[in-house]
């Protein structure tokens, strides 16, 4: 699945799923831009990939700020070429009970994980249209379809990601730009560890219990790794996925079956 000559722009690229996707696409031949609000972490991530022989550029960016997004894409274009691959991965998770959620938190969640992907797509779309080729991958979730309570912010934005994907896919298809959503299940990242602690606190479980018990509930018997998502992204970015657009792909070990 060669991506030689392509440039990929990955939000939330400093760690976890974003960094794994950056590494995979770089191994596939792409130049990768790792964009993240955490400057220290994203610089370290970029250095890590370069030590591995990858062509990688870290940029500090606030995905919820249009000027910051546009500047980051402009910097990436000057340094590595205009991105024709976008992975909208940046995300946050915070407890958001519907009846009590602070509206400042509500808007921060929406701005980061729904408005942000739109801003990023708008910033890279002109280069994709000019190239008559592009790939946009939006990061959904099993929670694009499910909710567990006290998660109204996360559930709403991940469901909204499906609508954003379908709308972009329909609008950009004439330019041979494919837009899809990956919906991960439980993937072992720092966010997953934090979520496990929140669930244990919410449900009165002993520390460590959730991650110990969860694999028993997953048909394939394990919690996923970031590389499981990265390999799916690799496929969607490749020419093998030329006829795949407007879709949501579930990568969850069978925990949720569509």
Neighbour tally for 148: CB within 10 Å: 10
Residues 151, 219 share a domain: no
pLDDT tens by residue, the chain, 258 residues: 699 999 999 999 999 999 999 999 999 999 999 999 999 999 999 999 999 999 999 999 999 999 999 999 999 999 999 999 999 999 988 889 999 999 999 999 999 999 999 999 999 999 999 999 999 999 999 999 998 888 899 999 999 999 999 999 999 999 999 999 999 999 999 989 988 998 898 889 999 999 999 999 999 999 999 999 999 999 999 999 999 999 999 999 999 997
Residues 142, 56 share a domain: yes
**Pick the catalytic residue: 93, 145, 154, 256?**
154
Q: What's the confidence (pLDDT) of residue 199?
A: 85
Q: What's the confidence (pLDDT) of residue 1?
A: 66
User: Domain of 181: which CATH number?
Assistant: 3.40.50.720
Q: What is the pTM of this model?
A: 0.96
In a domain, 256, yes or no: no
Residues 207, 139 share a domain: no
In a domain, 1, yes or no: no
Residues 89, 202 share a domain: no
Residues 154, 207 share a domain: no
Q: In which domain, by residue range, is 200 found?
A: 188-223
Distances (CA, A) of 113 to 139, 154, 182, 205, 226: 9, 9, 14, 29, 19
Residues 212, 168 share a domain: no
Q: What's the confidence (pLDDT) of residue 244?
A: 98
Identify any residues that bridge with 57 across adjacent strands, giving them in sequence order. 33
Residues 105, 12 share a domain: yes
Token pair in block for residue 82: 């205009």
Residues 137, 20 share a domain: yes
Residues 93, 166 share a domain: yes
Residues 211, 126 share a domain: no
Q: Is 243 a catalytic residue?
A: no
């Amino acid at each position: 699945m060669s991506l030689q000559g392509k440039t990929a722009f990955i939000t939330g690229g400093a760690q976890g799923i974003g960094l794994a996707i950056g590494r995979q696409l770089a191994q596939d031949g792409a130049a990768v831009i790792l964009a993240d609000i955490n400057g220290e972490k994203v610089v370290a991530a970029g250095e890590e990939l370069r030590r591995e022989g990858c062509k990688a550029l870290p940029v500090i960016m606030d995905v919820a700020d249009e000027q910051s997004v546009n500047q980051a894409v402009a910097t990436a274009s000057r340094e590595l070429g205009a991105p024709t691959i976008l992975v909208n991965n940046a995300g946050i998770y915070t407890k958001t009970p519907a009846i009590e959620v602070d509206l400042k938190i509500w808007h921060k969640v929406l701005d980061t994980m729904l408005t942000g992907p739109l801003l990023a797509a708008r910033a890279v779309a002109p280069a994709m249209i000019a190239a008559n080729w592009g790939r946009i991958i939006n990061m959904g979730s099993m929670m694009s379809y499910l909710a567990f309570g006290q998660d109204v912010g996360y559930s709403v934005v991940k469901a909204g990601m499906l609508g954003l994907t379908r709308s972009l896919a329909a609008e950009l298809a004439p330019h041979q730009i494919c837009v899809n959503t990956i919906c991960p299940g439980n993937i072992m990242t720092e966010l997953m560890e934090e979520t496990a602690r929140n669930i244990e606190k919410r449900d009165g479980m002993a520390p460590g219990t959730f991650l110990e018990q969860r694999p028993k509930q997953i048909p394939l018997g394990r919690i996923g790794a970031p590389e499981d998502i990265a390999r799916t992204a690799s496929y969607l970015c490749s020419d093998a996925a030329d006829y795949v657009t407007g879709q949501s792909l579930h990568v969850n070990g069978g925990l949720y079956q569509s």
